[in-house]
Structure 1
Amino acid sequence: MAGRERMSSIDAAWLQMERGFHPMSITAVLWFDGTVDRERLLKVLQERLVDRYPRFRQRVVSGPLGVPHWEDAPDFDLEAHVSTLDMSDPETHSMLAGVVGERLGLPLSRSFPLWHFSLTRGLPGGDVLLARLHHCMADGIALARVLLSLTDPVDAAGASEGPVGPETWSEGAPSEEARQPRAPGWLRMARGARSALHKGAELVREPILAGDLLRDGARGAAALGKLILRPSDPRSPLRGTPGYGKLAAWSEPLSLERVKAVGRTLGGTVNDVLLTVLTGALRRYLAMRGAPLEDLHALVPVNLRPLDVPVPRELGNRFGVVFLRLPVHLAEPQRRLREVVKRMEELKRSPEALMTSGALELLGHAPRALERKVVDVMGAKASLIATNVPGPRQPVALAGTRLSRLTFWVPQAGNIGLGISLFSYAGQVTLGVAADEVRVPDPEALVAAFQDELAALETTAP
């Protein structure tokens, strides 16, 4: 793409939202079963990333009146965006967690296109690819789809086949659970026809339809005003003045069948169960910190782009957020599950996601100082960011090497110090925790609490 192209207002909002203690990058780690051929990886990145999506060879520059623009990076060098890191030290897990945490707090240089991959060697079991991509390029769902478009399905013999598309994420007929009018997924709102309901991935069953929301929705200044007037969350260790360091933690893969079995027994979808487990984990963590056990709001991204059409070449952000009130005050797991189902049903009928999308577009036009003030005010309304991204049901390979699992971390804004991410892949779910070093100095405790809470919910089943 020659010349300059003005950045959309919603993408500019995410660019301007970045601060020294809150880089606005989405970070992912991909684990492999074996060694990745670097030259083959570079070839895949050139063909399926750089050539397909111009943003990956463009940098951000300031246009007239300081408005950000996209511009082709002079002398773009793909190899400069793919470094190699040796981690053959025996303390591998703690070292990797430290590297990820360091990268979570490190802004990407605006002198170059806003992405970087680190191919990490020397870990037991196989290589690891650490990917960092700026939120102004696209939202998390779009970037996840872009990353997965680099992969190929794996046949029964372990050989890779053709490129992965979103239709392969949920191959086969929809399950009985998919046909039920249950609570929506955390982050998917289809704008297209209802046929998209049957093209969603495993964790997302009945999306909120944007057409339903538009009947009662509001945008722009009215939406922003309503959000600002929302009461603040109660004081807790999870939010407040942040530090300048980030910490990362993740779980071992959890069986998706375990989660589904709990849902079948207790009456809830996969999403309902995961939200309930997360709420119980937060309750355990707050009790350990001696904090009040009061309900907290999670900012939950909601995709506004249909999954049954390709991600556009220009990428971009197309999502809103909803404020989900987590029933932390409830001690009994089954009551907590029923309350989660109820509150998710209420959000399904809410225009909130479209309202916040409109507010983000408005903020993209606002002066940076005003935007930061509004982000701080909005950040006081929630205590964490929680997102759930569905991946392929079947194993895939990247550059000829099978992918064993994937974890990602979302950026935080304002005074929110905690981000929770869930990713499903090949029958497993992995939890990722991104934490501010001051607000949540022990993210591993939250991971352990999540695992304990899932086991506790299983034991309550009759």
Structure 2
Amino acid sequence: MSAVDTAWLRMDRPHNLMMICGVLLFREPVELKRMRELVRQRFLVFARFRQRAVEAPGGAFWETDPHFDLSRHVASARLPGRAGQSELQRYVSKLIATPLSRARPMWQFHLIANYGGGSALIARIHHSYADGMALVRVMLSMTDASPDGPPAMPFAPEARARKESDRASGRSRNTLNAALKVGSILLEKGAALLADPAKAAALAARGSAFTTEIAKLARMPKDSPTRFKGAPGKAKRVAWAQPLPLSEVKTLGRALGASVNDVMLSCVAGAIRRYLAEKGDAVAGVTLRALVPVNLRPMEEACQLGNRFGLVFLDLPIGIENPVARLYAVRANMHALKGSYQPILAMGVLAAMGTGPKALQEALLHALSRKASAVMTNVPGPQQPLYLAGAKIDSLMFWVPQSGDIGMGVSILSYDGAVQFGLLTDRGLCPDPERIIARFGSEFDTLLLTTLMASWPRDGNLDPDEAAVAAGVFGG
């Protein structure tokens, strides 16, 4: 098992399980027998999914499960009561807090046969098998372009798929080598680099881009103290919004010189701002920092398993009330991250966590997680309808795990002309994520209305008149 994959195996905590969870919704029933056969034919082509993880003193390795039983991994369930969205969200919340057994391969598909007149599929896969981008690709390889095929996104031949991450080449190998170099520095110098800004600054003076990035990370202060920070518990809550038309989000973004991601994150920040304000919390000057995964995997290796991604820290300007000004701040923060060595540094940190002693692992995990309040993912999905086991996928979403003591996960995913926003929270820190979700759509409407009220500069610099318009509408 690679060092980075081992790190994700080691990071499991009772209060934050390292599993990726996906939810697919269908307007028609999906047959359990057909679903199991689909998993057998397309999911198990990756030999890794027949293997279980085994920890050893020198690291960890994969071992084929001699008693593999597909029925343990693909099972059906029924929701209680009205079997609607609320009941499904409660069921998903329970599964996200339920660990996968290490006695067998750590993945499960739960087919809900009675969801809203149709069905739902919940996928749980441990992060040690692959990162979110790879697993989304694996899931898409199981879909068809029509009810009876052909496959919408064919996967690599079995012989190549089984080699998985062992065939890293070119850009991928260079990235991995750079990450391992950072990891070796962290192993040599220990967690003191991240815990002591002075030591990190001295190392940065040596001129290496990577060591400079370590110093910047060490000097990075915590984000604002909000109710989302604290010691998480075992219980979780999930909620998701009604999808927004992707065309409308793109049109609004073009009008403001912003990306779909900028628009969505600005609305997320606005919804969180309103939630905090309604709770009576201070919002002026508040910044919520999120860890954002960055794909480091070349396209030709998209179907290979393993973890090949880095992380960047993104500040969400919760304290900005004007939605246009908030969007420009999000855009500026995103732009500042371009060309950053943070992703490779983060991958190096994970490599060090997977090979170093447990004390170093705990120190590095604490140093990373204490600087952020959320993990945020944004995945552009296919823009045509897809079918799974003969049923059309109506919508889909997924969440990656929250590391350390982070208690919030934000998921943005586009599919078939719509974009979906989902939220995962710790029940002790935020017991009602549906209240944030409920304000997301109105934040988009407010941003749209504000954009139509004036001609905003695409460069994001507001002149005094524009600032006055914003103050008149939003009370300063």
- Please report the TM-score for the alignment, with normalisation by the length of structure 1: 0.84
In the TM superposition, residue 368 of structure 1 has moved relative to its aligned partner by 2.6
Q: How far apart, CA to CA, are the structure 1 residues paired with 2:53 and 2:309? A: 21
In the TM superposition, residue 93 of structure 1 has moved relative to its aligned partner by 2.2
Q: Report if aligned partners of 2:179, 2:344 keep a CA contact under 8 Å in 1.
A: no
Is 1:341 equivalent to 2:331 in the alignment?
yes
Which one has a larger percent helix, Structure 1 or Structure 2? 2
One-letter identity of the residue aligned with 1:459? L
Query: Superposition pairs for residues 243-392 of structure 1, below 5 Å?
Result: 243-293=233-283, 294-312=286-304, 315-392=305-382
What is aligned with 2:413? 423
Q: How far apart, CA to CA, are the structure 2 residues paired with 1:212 and 1:28? A: 28
Q: How far apart, CA to CA, are the structure 1 residues paired with 2:443 and 2:262? A: 14
What is aligned with 1:11? 5
Q: Report if aligned partners of 1:300, 1:321 keep a CA contact under 8 Å in 2.
A: yes
Q: How far apart, CA to CA, are the structure 2 residues paired with 1:328 and 1:123? A: 35
In the TM superposition, residue 87 of structure 1 has moved relative to its aligned partner by 2.3
Q: For structure 1, which runs of at least 5 residues remain unmatched after alignment?
A: 1-6, 168-190, 194-208
Is 1:24 equivalent to 2:11 in the alignment?
no
Q: For structure 2, which runs of at least 5 residues remain unmatched after alignment?
A: 157-168, 187-210, 453-476
Q: How far apart, CA to CA, are the structure 2 residues paired with 1:453 and 1:384? A: 20
What is aligned with 2:94? 102
In the TM superposition, residue 349 of structure 1 has moved relative to its aligned partner by 2.3
Q: Give secondary structure in 2 for the equivalent of 1:142.
A: helix
Q: Report if aligned partners of 1:272, 1:340 keep a CA contact under 8 Å in 2.
A: yes
Is 1:46 equivalent to 2:40 in the alignment?
yes
Q: Give secondary structure in 1 for the equivalent of 2:233.
A: coil
Q: How far apart, CA to CA, are the structure 2 residues paired with 1:85 and 1:403? A: 19
In the TM superposition, residue 226 of structure 1 has moved relative to its aligned partner by 4.9
Q: How far apart, CA to CA, are the structure 2 residues paired with 1:283 and 1:240? A: 18
Q: 1:73 to 1:89 in 2, by over 3 A?
A: same
Q: How far apart, CA to CA, are the structure 2 residues paired with 1:87 and 1:296? A: 35
Is 1:130 equivalent to 2:119 in the alignment?
no
In the TM superposition, residue 292 of structure 1 has moved relative to its aligned partner by 3.0
Q: 1:323 to 1:270 in 2, by over 3 A?
A: same
Q: Is the deviation greater in 32-41 or in 346-355?
A: 32-41
What is aligned with 1:188? none
Q: Give secondary structure in 2 for the equivalent of 1:419.
A: strand
In the TM superposition, residue 389 of structure 1 has moved relative to its aligned partner by 1.3
One-letter identity of the residue aligned with 1:317? N
Q: Give secondary structure in 2 for the equivalent of 1:90.
A: coil
Q: Give secondary structure in 2 for the equivalent of 1:153.
A: coil
Q: CA RMSD in A?
A: 2.5
Q: Give secondary structure in 2 for the equivalent of 1:234.
A: coil
What is aligned with 2:144? 152
Q: Deviations over 1:318-365 (max 9, x none)?
A: 000100111222111111111222221110121111111111111111
What is aligned with 1:205? none
Q: Which has the larger radius of gyration?
A: 2
In the TM superposition, residue 213 of structure 1 has moved relative to its aligned partner by 13
Q: How far apart, CA to CA, are the structure 2 residues paired with 1:73 and 1:357? A: 29
Q: How far apart, CA to CA, are the structure 1 residues paired with 2:332 and 2:216? A: 23
* Aligned with residue 112 of structure 2, among 116, 120, 125: 120
Q: Report if aligned partners of 1:411, 1:419 keep a CA contact under 8 Å in 2.
A: yes
Is 1:90 equivalent to 2:96 in the alignment?
no
One-letter identity of the residue aligned with 1:151? T
Q: How far apart, CA to CA, are the structure 2 residues paired with 1:456 and 1:311? A: 40
Q: 1:255 to 1:214 in 2, by over 3 A?
A: farther
Q: 1:414 to 1:212 in 2, by over 3 A?
A: closer
What is aligned with 1:448? 438
- Please report the TM-score for the alignment, with normalisation by the length of structure 2: 0.81
Is 1:55 equivalent to 2:62 in the alignment?
no
Q: How many residues were matched structurally? A: 411
What is aligned with 1:3? none
Q: How far apart, CA to CA, are the structure 2 residues paired with 1:451 and 1:299? A: 24
In the TM superposition, residue 94 of structure 1 has moved relative to its aligned partner by 2.0
Q: Deviations over 1:217-238 (max 9, x none)?
A: 9722246565344211221111
What is aligned with 1:219? 182
Is 1:81 equivalent to 2:73 in the alignment?
yes
Q: How far apart, CA to CA, are the structure 1 residues paired with 2:339 and 2:12? A: 32
Q: 1:234 to 1:218 in 2, by over 3 A?
A: farther
Q: Give secondary structure in 2 for the equivalent of 1:47.
A: helix
One-letter identity of the residue aligned with 2:352? L
Q: How far apart, CA to CA, are the structure 2 residues paired with 1:443 and 1:92? A: 17
Q: Report if aligned partners of 1:214, 1:351 keep a CA contact under 8 Å in 2.
A: no
Q: Give secondary structure in 1 for the equivalent of 2:9.
A: helix
Q: 1:283 to 1:166 in 2, by over 3 A?
A: farther
What is aligned with 1:33? 27
Is 1:143 equivalent to 2:132 in the alignment?
no
Q: How far apart, CA to CA, are the structure 2 residues paired with 1:46 and 1:369? A: 40
Query: Superposition pairs for residues 406-417 of structure 1, below 5 Å?
Result: 406-417=396-407
Q: Deviations over 1:245-303 (max 9, x none)?
A: 01111112221112112112222111111121112122112222333321121110001
Q: How far apart, CA to CA, are the structure 1 residues paired with 2:50 and 2:353? A: 26
One-letter identity of the residue aligned with 1:162? P
Q: 1:413 to 1:153 in 2, by over 3 A?
A: same
Q: Deviations over 1:411-454 (max 9, x none)?
A: 11122111000111100111111110111111001111222211
One-letter identity of the residue aligned with 1:413? S
Q: Report if aligned partners of 2:52, 2:106 keep a CA contact under 8 Å in 1.
A: yes
Is 1:237 equivalent to 2:231 in the alignment?
no
One-letter identity of the residue aligned with 1:447? I
Q: Is the deviation greater in 144-153 or in 224-233?
A: 224-233
Q: Report if aligned partners of 2:179, 2:347 keep a CA contact under 8 Å in 1.
A: no
Q: Report if aligned partners of 1:228, 1:378 keep a CA contact under 8 Å in 2.
A: no
Q: How high is the sequence identity, in percent, across the aligned residues?
A: 41
Q: Report if aligned partners of 1:394, 1:426 keep a CA contact under 8 Å in 2.
A: yes
Q: Deviations over 1:366-422 (max 9, x none)?
A: 223431232122111011111011211100111111111101122111221110001
One-letter identity of the residue aligned with 1:133? I
Q: Give secondary structure in 1 for the equivalent of 2:299.
A: coil
Q: How far apart, CA to CA, are the structure 1 residues paired with 2:247 and 2:110? A: 32
Q: Give secondary structure in 1 for the equivalent of 2:439.
A: helix
